[in-house]
Each structure stands twice: as structure tokens, then as C-alpha cells.
Amino acid sequence: MDNHPTLTLNGRTVSIRGERNLLEVARQAGIDIPTFCYHSELSIYGACRLCLVDIEGRGIVASCSVAPEPGMVVRTHTEEIRELRRISLELLLANHEQSCTTCAASRSCRLQTLCRRLGVEKVRFHRTQKERPVDHSSVSLVRDPNKCILCGDCVRACTEIQNVGAIDFIHRGAETTVGPAFGKNLAEGECVNCGLCATVCPTGALTPKPEIDAVWRDLNDPQKTVVVQVAPAVRVGIGEAFGLEPGSIETGRLVAALKALGFDQVYDTSFAADLTVIEEATEFLQRKAAGERLPQFTSCCPSWVKFAEQFCPEVLPNLSTCRSPQQMFGALARVTLPETLGIDPENLVIVSVMPCTAKKYEAKLPKFQTGGRPDVDHVLTTQELAVMIEEAGLQFRQLEPQSMDMPLGFKTGAGVIFGASGGVTEAVLRFAVEKVTGVRLSRIDFDEVRGEGSVREATISAGNTTLKLAMVHGLRNAHDLADKVARGECDYDLIEVMACPGGCIGGAGQPVPKELQTRAQRTSGLYQADKGLQLHKPQENHLVAHCYQTCLGDVGGHRAHELLHTTHQNRRRINSRGLTVLGQDNNSDKLKVTVCLGTGCFLRGSHSLLNALTERIQQHGLKDRVQVSATFCFEACDRGPNVRMGETSLFRCTLDSAWDAILKELEATPVA
């Protein structure tokens, strides 16, 4: 017998089972109330006003922000409500860039879906906003403010899940838009390229930046040999783009599609993931034996690495020095494939297919180059590959499966499970436990590290050694753990960090999931793929062993470090020219004065110093000779206020000391 309290929903008696709001009650009852701004993993916002319901005695309210109460009588689709929803959509469309046929988000656009569903056939209102420039500055994402409907999903995802705050609402009233602070573009701000904003965006205001045309050019160049590596998570995501069940393992058809598109060789990033496990686990065991730089953080997620470099550089010594599998593959392929394939190194093009937008940023970092050329030339997302397959007219579901090419297509299950949260940790355990105990593992599954929780921990015994582990996804959770590490408040040995919810299977380059359980289905697919292989531990990959013998030398040795490891750098805060507040023009002869407005300096009076300094410069008629900008951070927070003048930094700066320095610099540079 059901003892739960009840309410009446469209004439039906419905139980209340702890749902947060009427919207969740309706969905549990099989009624999909439309909404733009509601995500169960984000805070309740109530901006779009589409989820209206009529409560007897209360009138029309937003169902997302009203808690269910026993005895309520609720209707979800009265004539008045349906008309209000249509009007809301028409108002959004009036100022929305309606280039639907060419929009990158067309196949997953929530706005299109709801307009069809609610019968919006024409727009009765006129456009009131001017067209705004599209931000193409990021190598990972494109931001089109003309398609933004101000639902706030991207803002909340960036702040609440990732703790980055790279974008927010700016300006007021009719001029309100979403963008980075200080009028910056995405590339100049603190964006970590994770793309979660694009995943939750219901329109095309934020989308992964495509590299499709560049890949087609190389595929059609007869002088080029184009090879491709495929990340583990892609095999359980690509099928969704063609109507297959989430989590279905499509490795064979994926290879067939890539071959049909013209790729000369198809390899598996899981090969490099096996390499990563061996190098990272060896590094970890060395640290554990020495008791130094623990806990060790994983470094295979480029969004996490950039986040750590920007927001918590104090834990950078704790990050593994291992490159990500993508970059290990690129470096290794760049030096071995020309001889293996008998080609000129200049004609080798290396492409990645990744579930991740941050991999685009990672591949273009200067440190990941060989002879001045990127180790990975182009990065396609799973979504982009699906577009190319459709563009070529391939019927994906009818393709005959094919196999990966050797040797870089061979992998073990340890490399495959890298794509799920907890997978890196489990893969490391499959190597490290055997290494510590000297006994062959009889059980390769470490269920203790699996799960959907955003923060999980496990304790594993390996002989006389106890390993305390943490697995975390979402950068806010990672930041909390990093703070505890910096304060010495936790005793973990290894911490795995993935920026995207669920790990790489939930990356922003994957098909946009329609249901919450999609991530769990993809994860399950990776573990099934692991079970379908004969080998499950990286040390069993004989082709990886051969690679060490012929190219890399000793595990963790000099050559291995040269090709498979990297360094991390402090990138704290905005790294651009700052916001010019006085003397903004193109005159390069002006004395450049920059005042830090970071938190430490702000609390020490830098904002007042900035105002007083600009006022004095104007009073003395020097605005034609001095340019003043505000920025942050100089990485000297304990010595603020900080001012930079040309190449000189002034710490604990006062108005008088800044003024004296300005006069001295101007005297040394007479007016022409």
C-alpha cells in the first residue's frame, strides 16, 4: 500500500515521493513539462517561464520553484498556459539568430524542439536587439551571443559545477547578455575549455569549435598520410548520433566509417592510455616509496590541468608529470610512424577523435610540439565525426565492422576504461598492486573505485601497503580537495580528477544526452568493452612492451620522459593586457601603467589607488602620454597594492610612489 502523500495532477492522483518541486513530480508521472533553464544537477533558477502550471487557488506559477504539497490540484496544459508558452517562445525567437539550417546545434537544439512541440508557426514580434559579434577567440568553443536566450544554464554550470565563473550575466535591462568579465573574449579569460556550458546550452549560443574543414583538406591532399586516434569514450557515444542506444559499443563500425572517410590508418588512444598507466603508476609508486609529493593528482584531463594552473597552483607539484594519452600518442606517433609507414615526416597528419573540447586546446599548446609542429594536428569531437560521416553519405548502421591498425591500435581493457570516472584509478591499480605484491592479480575488477558519485573514496590493500584513493568529477569538487591537500587536511595517496560529470563519457564533444541515465549507460558500455577483450592490464600489452624496447627505453627513463611527460606552469588568473581605463588608443609610445585589482590588492586599496592615479594624470594633462589599465594578478598578493610600469613592478605601492615613478619614466622619455 502506498502511504505517500498525494496531489491531483490533471485529474489524476499522484504520489509525492520526495521530489523537490512540481516539475519533478510531473516528470515522474510521465508528463514532460517544457523548460529551458531547469537541470536537476543545477540550482533552481526559474528564468524561462515555460514550466508554468495552474494550481487551484493560487493561479499560474513556475512549477520548478514550487514545492509539492498534499492536496494540491494542478493542471499543466490549460489553454491559457499553452498560449503563454507560445508567446514566451515567440519573444525569444524575435531576438534570436534564426540561422537554424546552418547552426552547429541544430540536431540538439532545445528551442527548435519546443517550437515544434508547442506549435509555434510564426513570430508576431519584431527584433529589438542589434547584432553582436561572434566570439571565435577560443580554440575549443564558439560563443554566439545572438543565439543566447538568457536561460542562465551556462552561467550556473560554469560556476556551480566547475567553480570557474568564466562567463556571467553582464550589462543591464535590454542590454543584458552573457559573456566573460571586463568585455574580454573567451580566450582571454579564465575558461578551462571543458565545454560544459555548450553541453547545457539549449540553443547554439555555445558550441564546440569545429575543425572539420581542416581535416577534409588533409584527407583530400594526395601528398598527405592521415592517421587518426580514437579515444575510449567515443566508441560508446558515436552510436547515439545515429539512433543507437547510449552505451552501445561501436568500435568496429567506427573504424569502418573512418576508413571510408579516407583515413589511412586508424589507431586507438587506449594504446597510449596503457602507456599512461605504466608511466603514471611507476611515478606514483616512486612517490609513495619516498613519501614525497603525495597525494599524486592525475593529469590526463586538460581542463583539470589548466584549472589547477590557474586556481590552485600550490598543488602543481602534486600533479603527475605524465602527458595525457592523446599527447603521448601524438609524440610517439610523430617519431615512429614515418619509418613504420615509409613516409616523409612532413607528410604525416595526426588527427584525434575525442569526447572532449579541452583536447583542442591541449593539442595547440606550444609544449606539445615536435620540431615546431604540433604532435596532434587536428582534434575532432564525437559530434564533428558524426557530421563528417553524414556529410560523406555513409549509412553508419549498415557499415561492416573493421579492426584497428597495428601496432598503435592494440590495447588492453585498462586503457579502455580510462573514459569513465574511476577508470584511471582502476587501471593504475591493475598495474600497481601487481607491482607492489609481486603476485599476479586473480581479480582485475576494483569495484571499490566505481560509481556515479561526484566525490568517492576507497582504501585498497596491496600486500603490506595500504592505498587511500579519491575519485572526483566536476572541478568545484576538485578545487575543494586541492584546498584540503594544500592545508594538509587529507591523507590520500592518489586523486583522480575528471572535469566532466561522469568522466570523459560525459565530455562536451559527445552527443548531447537526452536523459540523465545516458552517462551511466556509456560507462557501462566501457566496462563491457573491457570484458570483451582478452587482456585487461597494461603490463600485458606486448606491443607497448615492444615500444619500450625499440623506442622509449626504460619505464620512467630519459627517453620516456622526453616523449611521454611534461611540465605544468602557474597560469593564475587573466593573462591578457587588462582593461584600459585611461588613454585607450593605439599609441605604442605611451607609458603603460597597470594596476592589479585582484582580491589581495583590492583589499589593500588598489581600487582607490587606481582612481586617484588616473585623476592626477588627467589633472596634470598627461593622459596623452600615459595609459592606465586594470588587471589581475601579479602573483604577489601579499605585497599589494601592486603596480606595473613598463617592465618595472612596484610592490606595496602608494599614490606618491606611483606618481614619482611615472614622472621619472616620463623624464627619461622626452616628448618627440
pLDDT per residue as tens digits for the range 100-115: 777 877 777 888 788 8
Residue position matching grid coordinates 592494440:
410
User: pLDDT above 70 covers what percent of the chain?
Assistant: 96
pLDDT per residue as tens digits for the range 333-343: 999 999 999 99
Q: DSSP 3-state assignment of 560?
A: helix
β strands within 384-520, DSSP E: 455-462, 465-473, 494-498
Could you name the CATH architecture of 88-208?
2-Layer Sandwich (3.30)
- Top-confidence residue, 661 or 573: 661
CATH (residue range 579-668): 3.40.30.10
- Measured CA to CA, the distance from residue 366 to residue 581 in angstroms comes to 32
- Measured CA to CA, the distance from residue 59 to residue 54 in angstroms comes to 5
| Total count of residues recorded for the chain | 672
Q: DSSP 3-state assignment of 114?
A: helix
Q: Please compute the mean of the pLDDT values over residues 282-287 and round it to a whole number.
A: 94
Answer yes or no: is pLDDT of 473 > 70.
Answer: yes
Three-class secondary structure assignment of 355-415: CCCHHHHHHCCCCCEECCEECCCEEEEHHHHHHHHHHCCCCHHHCCCCCCCCCCCCCCHHH
pTM recorded for the entire structure? 0.82
φ, ψ (nearest 5 deg) of residue 197: -60, -40
- Measured CA to CA, the distance from residue 353 to residue 212 in angstroms comes to 11
Residue 472, sorted as left (phi over 0), alpha (psi -120 to 50) or beta, turns out to be beta
Tell me, yes or no, if the two domains 6-77 and 88-208 fold the same way.
no
Domain coordinates in residue numbering, the chain: 6-77, 88-208, 213-564, 579-668
Q: Please compute the mean of the pLDDT values over residues 650-669 and round it to a whole number.
A: 88
Evaluate whether 199 touches 508 at the Cβ level (below 8 Å).
yes
Answer yes or no: is pLDDT of 320 > 90.
Answer: yes
- Measured CA to CA, the distance from residue 379 to residue 261 in angstroms comes to 16
The verdict on domain 213-564 having CATH code 3.40.50.1780 is: yes
Q: Please compute the mean of the pLDDT values over residues 431-459 and round it to a whole number.
A: 91
What's the pLDDT at 587?
60
Alpha helices (H) along 74-202: 79-94, 110-117, 153-156, 196-200
Determine the topology of domain 6-77 in CATH: Ubiquitin-like (UB roll) (3.10.20)
Mean pLDDT of the chain: 90
β pairing state of 369-370 and 373-374: antiparallel
Q: Please compute the mean of the pLDDT values over residues 369-385 and round it to a whole number.
A: 93
- Measured CA to CA, the distance from residue 453 to residue 520 in angstroms comes to 11
pLDDT per residue as tens digits for the range 128-153: 778 889 999 999 999 999 989 888 89
- Measured CA to CA, the distance from residue 277 to residue 282 in angstroms comes to 8
Evaluate whether 499 touches 228 at the Cβ level (below 8 Å).
no
Look up residue 442 and give its DSSP letter.
S
pLDDT per residue as tens digits for the range 165-211: 999 998 888 788 899 988 888 998 889 999 999 999 988 899 999 99
What's the pLDDT at 579?
67
What's the pLDDT at 432?
92
φ, ψ (nearest 5 deg) of residue 60: -90, 125
Evaluate whether 206 touches 357 at the Cβ level (below 8 Å).
no
Strand order in the sheet with 348-354: 265-268, 225-230, 348-354, 378-381
Q: DSSP 3-state assignment of 506?
A: helix
